[in-house]
Amino acid sequence: MSTKIKLGLFGFGCVGQGLYNVLNQTEGIKAEIVKICIKNPNKKRSLSADYFTLEKDEILFNEDINVVVEMIDDAEAAFQIVKTALQNGKAVVSANKKMIADHFDELYQLQKQYNAPLLYEASACASIPIIRNLEEYYDNDLLGAVEGIFNGSTNYILTKIFKDNIDFDTALKQAQEIGFAETDPTLDVEAYDPKYKLCIILAHTFGLFVKPEEVFNYGIQNLSTFDIQYANEKGYKIKLIAFCRKVDNKIVAGVLPRFIKPDNKLYNIENEYNGILVESAFTESQFFAGKGAGSNPTGSAVLSDISALTYSYKYEYKKHNRGAKVELTDDFSIDLYVRYSTANPIDTKLFTNIKESYANHESAYIVGSINFAALRQSDLIKRKDINLIVAADTKFEKLQNSIQSLEEETVAL
């Protein structure tokens, strides 16, 4: 690609403004914004009206523009933009995690067919360069797991709950007021946002392409004062954790809240920050932290991709192209805290063993091992009077390991 980058932007909201800010404060990147396609012509903008257009073809079919930067909210409209740009041989940079997760395989094929790169570092964990590290630094390492806090909005809410001792609704309102959470917070608090990011991370960690509906997500929407009191009594915090891990040559993955102990590096990741733990055979455990939300952090990740295009960088999908023989499985056991209403008991047969339990006149909980496949098929995930939190010391194991251990304990007794 020419070292002179001529940009066509789709969207000029939080991320677009952030990109403009960091682009104008950075020396060394020869990039020029030629045109910006917007939806609302009446919105007040910080740039001259000459920059803006309502016609997407003014960017997609403009021969002077060699890089399209997609930063809009509509995932399906974004996909059509990205698809057309790649078909026209233009490089694309995107921050749209839902669009990428929903269409990952097709986007991969389009890049190969039209020899046009698509970069999306900003789609997962904003300022943390995790995708490129997984692609380049860990390209020949034997990765065992990637997990962490992938959503700055929920982490901000949980920080306010535990540090400021405020309730969930108040913390959510504060997050909305400062722009960390949307008016409709469903994507964040019900853990869809980190699930989309996890789907992208899975491809670059294990070479595994999955659809979002294959990955389980359970958020913090049912968090109660009872759960918070339990965590405080144990000295834990609660964090929303996305994880993917190799277990017996299969991959387990999902997003759930988890109790975090003080000795865990994620314990002190607060507010809108994200934190990622990478486990591998050669480098053992490494930790990344940085801002996971906000205009400038996300804009800087977009700018990093634009900079990479000046030296013709593209993802090589090395692990996938080596023919990674791994598959996603739900046949594993985790230790889970299940809080429920005493008046509406749960089926304890779901637990392969029970490690802790308690009940008062209003609420009860059980901590024990549950098969993940059974959990996904149970009514526990649908009930509003129930909350699920992964235990602090959980180990991800095949179910038969848990059953075998239980049988050994029974024989010993």
Q: For residue 412, what pLDDT is reported?
A: 36
Average pLDDT of the chain is 92
pLDDT at 401 over 70: no
Lowest mean pLDDT among 37-46, 99-108, 354-363: 37-46
Total structural domains within the chain: 3
Domain boundary among 264, 293, 322: 293
pTM, full prediction: 0.93
Map residue 332 onto helix, strand or coil: coil
335 neighbors 365 (Cβ within 8 angstroms)? no
Catalytic residue among 197, 239, 291, 319: 197
Same domain? For 260 and 177 the reply is: yes
Q: For residue 402, what pLDDT is reported?
A: 39
Q: For residue 404, what pLDDT is reported?
A: 40
Taking the alpha carbons of 205, 210, 215, 220 in that order, is the dihedral positive or negative? positive
Same domain? For 105 and 161 the reply is: no
Instruction: Read off the pLDDT of residues 22-42 as tens digits, 9 standing for 90 and up.
Output: 888 887 788 999 999 999 888
CATH number of domain containing 344? 3.30.70
Helix axes 295-309 and 14-24, enclosed angle (nearest 10) = 60
Catalytic annotation on 211?
Answer: no
Q: What is the DSSP string of 250-284?
A: EEEEEEEEEEE-TTSGGGG--TTEEEEEEEETTTE
Same domain? For 342 and 384 the reply is: yes
Q: For residue 294, what pLDDT is reported?
A: 77
Which pair of tokens denotes residue 234? 């144990």
Q: For residue 28, what pLDDT is reported?
A: 76
Same domain? For 77 and 168 the reply is: no
**What average pLDDT does the segment 297-312 reach?**
91
- The answer to whether residue 171 is domain-embedded is yes
Which of these, 230, 286, 240, 284, lies nearest to 390 by C-alpha position?
Answer: 240
Taking the C-alpha atoms of residue 298 and residue 341, their distance in angstroms, rounded to an integer, is: 41
Taking the C-alpha atoms of residue 257 and residue 238, their distance in angstroms, rounded to an integer, is: 6
Same domain? For 141 and 98 the reply is: no
The phi and psi torsions of 73 (rounded to 5 degrees) equal: -85, -30
Same domain? For 366 and 287 the reply is: no
Same domain? For 265 and 345 the reply is: no
- The answer to whether residue 195 is domain-embedded is yes
Domain boundary among 100, 123, 146: 123
Instruction: Read off the pLDDT of residues 197-223 as tens digits, 9 standing for 90 and up.
Output: 999 999 999 999 999 999 999 999 999
Instruction: Read off the pLDDT of residues 247-270 as tens digits, 9 standing for 90 and up.
Output: 988 999 999 999 999 999 999 999
For residue 3, name the pLDDT band (cuts at 50, 70, 90): low
List the domain range (segments joined by +) for residue 396: 333-412
- The answer to whether residue 311 is domain-embedded is no
